Chain A
Amino acid sequence: MLPVLDEEVLRHRIARRIAREFEDGDVVNLGIGIPTLVSDHIPEGVRVTFQTENGVVGAGPKPPEEDLRFIGAGGRCLSVVPGGALIASDFSFGLIRGGHLDATVLGALQVDQEANLANWWIPGKLVPGMGGAMDLVTGAKHVIVATTHTTKKGGIKLVKKCNLPLTGAGVVSLVVTEYAVFRFVDGQMVLEELAPGITEEDIREITEAEYVTSPDLGVMQGCEEEQQD
């Protein structure tokens, strides 16, 4: 039986794990939702430049006094760090498509075993639009997916083949959920880490995608920092 996690605990668990993927000097774009939390957990000594697609290179935390002339992609006020730059949308997407971003962190509706990502459209229901997601998954060197392992109703998100319209084909590098970490290595989905108390059997029950288990299967990094009750 999988443990039921507090919403905040699981969101920060995913964000904290992803924050450990970056190297000093990386340029990273964070999507809306759980990805936004990643910036709260960057390990000490690692300097990451955050880019927002609406025109900031060097985005910083929300300032004490809101100035609506400086916002992030989700519409929240942000600061620009010393040494930051403000750019127009064409330049911003030139950076994104042109391979100048080390990573993008996005949410998902579905990820499949071929590293396909669907996160922009549920036909017949919502048509929010792809926004910048298609460009981000095309141009960023690493596409990191931050998602709950299943939907709120327990629906499978890690599937054999996405049946929702794709955001990008074969683009995903890493999937981090509250229970596990999967990396795509040479076209193969590999289970690399399990959250404490989670077994491989637990994961198989909630994962439809075919994956192999890494010979170096380990405990999900960052979980040791969670507050013990």
Chain B
Amino acid sequence: MNTMPTKIIKPVTSAEEAVAHVKPGSSVMIGGFNYGGIPYTLVDALVEAGTKDLTLVANDTAYDEVGHGKLVTAGQVRKVIASHVGLNKATQRLFNEGKLDLELVPQGTFVERIRAGGFGLGGILTPTGVGTVHEEGKQVLEIDGHKYILELPLRADVALIRGYRADRYGNIVYYGTNRNFNPAMAAAADLVIAEVDAILEVGELDPNDVVTPGILVDILVLKGDSYYASRT
């Protein structure tokens, strides 16, 4: 295998090939907020692959039969780290039955922990959650008379992200409210797989528009034509 080109020129693969990198027991970050900005084609392929015992790191668990909500419904997830799971009945049910670990994190803390994981910080200090159950078991520091919770970095083995357009270097631009957690996650996983609407030649993206530089992205996959993949 020619390593030089794949480090710079990113492989474009099928969703099936790409998600084969997600092994049983892996931690997986998946972009998205509600039904926006989810890498639907990759998620469907992961559901199809049936890979189990996953730790899912995602803002929410979407809906029972939408996006990565399907991974929970199919019983492929052992633990969820998220800020909101109220729209997915399967998450609620499995948690109540003791079949799913659930770590709820305030949304701003969630993304900042991912940023810390991706950008080399040992943790972050946030006032969010002070005086609530969320501070239990955590270190609270007082700085200039204000209390902050020490929150630790979050990383994953694999990140599945959703972009709008990519070039072959893996540079990515986003569209609308699909951006959400995707840029942060692109920096915080050992392997980053990006699903995009279109893959362009190098030089076709204006560097002024690039949000996620290609050095963070490992594999590119073109989006499929499922209901949400084609409409988001």
In the complex, what residue of chain A is closest to B86 when comparing beta carbons? Answer: A128
Given contacts A55-B179, A167-B132, A170-B131, contact A128 B84 (CB under 8 A): yes
- For residue A81, CB closer than 8 A to chain B, the reply is no
Cα distance, A97 to B115, chains bound together (Å): 15
Q: Which residue of A lies closest to B92 (CB)?
A: A127
Question: What residues of chain A lie closer than 8 Å to B181, measured between beta carbons?
Answer: 88-89
Residues of B within 8 A of A54 (CB): 33-34, 36, 177, 180
* Least CB distance, B163 to chain A, in whole angstroms: 12
Are the C-beta atoms of A135 and B35 separated by less than 8 Å? no
Of A53, A88, A139, the residue contacting B184 (CB under 8 A) is: A88
Known A-B contacts A166-B131, A168-B131; A129 and B104 likewise in contact (beta carbons under 8 Å): yes
Chain A CB within 10 A, most for which of B33, B35, B107, B182? B107
B103 CB, min distance to chain A CBs, angstroms: 10
In the assembled complex, A130 has its CB within 8 A of some CB on chain B: yes
For the complex, what is the distance from the CA of A70 to the CA of B231, rounded to whole Å? 11
Closest to A98 in B: B108
Q: Is the CB of A89 within 8 A of B130?
A: no
On chain B, the number of residues with a Cβ less than 8 Å from chain A's Cβ atoms is 48
Chain B residues within an 8 Å CB radius of A135:
106-109, 128
- Structural contact, B36 and A71, CB atoms closer than 8 A: yes
Is the C-beta of A86 less than 8 angstroms from some C-beta in chain B?
A: yes
Say yes or no for B176: interface residue by CB 8 A criterion: yes
Q: Let me know if B36 and A53 touch, CB within 8 A.
A: no
With A97-B127, A138-B128: A56-B177 Cβ-Cβ less than 8 Å: yes
Does A69 make an interface contact (CB < 8 A)? yes
How many angstroms from the CA of A170 to the CA of B130 in the assembled complex? 11
How distant is the Cα of A55 from the Cα of B104 in the complex, in angstroms?
Answer: 21
Interface 1/0 per residue, B174-211 and A, CB below 8 Å? 11111111111000000000000000000000000001
Residue pair A132, B108 in contact (C-beta under 8 Å):
yes
- Let me know if B26 is at the binding interface, CB within 8 A: no
CB of A165 closer than 8 Å to a CB of B: yes
Q: Mark A25-60, 1 if CB is under 8 A from B, else 0.
A: 000000000000000000000000000111110000
Shortest Cβ distance from B102 into chain A, in angstroms? Answer: 7
CB of A93 closer than 8 Å to a CB of B = yes
- Could you list 19 examples of A-B contacts with CB < 8 Å? A54-B33, A54-B34, A68-B35, A71-B176, A75-B34, A86-B176, A86-B179, A89-B59, A89-B181, A93-B107, A97-B128, A128-B86, A130-B84, A131-B60, A134-B107, A138-B128, A139-B108, A167-B132, A169-B130
Given contacts A88-B182, A131-B106, A138-B130, 4 further A-B pairs with CB under 8 A are: A69-B232, A71-B35, A135-B107, A138-B128
